């Protein structure tokens, strides 16, 4: 494939990646104080644009959908009824995993296609 064909393929894959996320609601892990790692995922409502992971004292953990503009200590503490906590808010699918960041099911194939197209374009 010539460089022009590779460029067109790369452009089409980029457009596909952008369009793939339109109409897609954010997915977050959703557990309160799970025994072990949280594996339950849910689609967030349209007004929830972030995932949150909270570690509270005494040992209690929360994985939930959240609003990014409400990701601050005072709001989280008041709404969860916890006085001592650490939290992390993020805005990618299933990003509120406590132990490791993983690619979501839709992201991995797009990354692979993009890498293949880049490889063909560079050759």
Tens of pLDDT along 23-67? 579 999 999 998 888 999 999 999 999 999 999 998 999 999 999
Report whether pLDDT(96) > 70. Answer: yes
CATH of 26-103, one of 2.10.60.10, 3.30.300.30, 3.40.50.720, 3.30.160.70: 2.10.60.10
Q: Provide the mean pLDDT of the chain.
A: 80
How far is the C-alpha of 111 from the C-alpha of 107, rounded, in Å?
A: 6
Q: Which residue has the higher pLDDT, 48 or 119?
A: 48
In the chain, where the domains are located: 1-24+106-123, 26-103
pTM passes above 0.85: no
pLDDT at 101: 38
Report whether pLDDT(81) > 90. Answer: yes
Q: Nearest 5 degrees, angle CA 27-CA 31-CA 34? A: 140
């Amino acid at each position: 494939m010539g460089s022009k064909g590779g460029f067109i393929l790369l452009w089409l894959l980029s457009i596909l990646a952008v369009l793939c996320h339109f109409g897609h609601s954010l997915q977050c892990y959703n557990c309160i104080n799970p025994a072990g790692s949280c594996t339950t995922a849910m689609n967030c409502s349209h007004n929830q644009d972030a995932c949150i992971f909270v570690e509270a004292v005494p040992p209690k953990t929360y994985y939930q959908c959240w609003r990014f503009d409400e990701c601050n200590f005072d709001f989280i503490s008041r709404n969860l009824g916890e006085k001592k906590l650490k939290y992390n808010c993020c805005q990618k699918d299933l990003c509120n995993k406590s132990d490791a960041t993983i690619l979501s099911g839709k992201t991995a194939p797009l990354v692979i296609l993009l890498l293949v197209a880049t490889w063909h374009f560079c050759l």
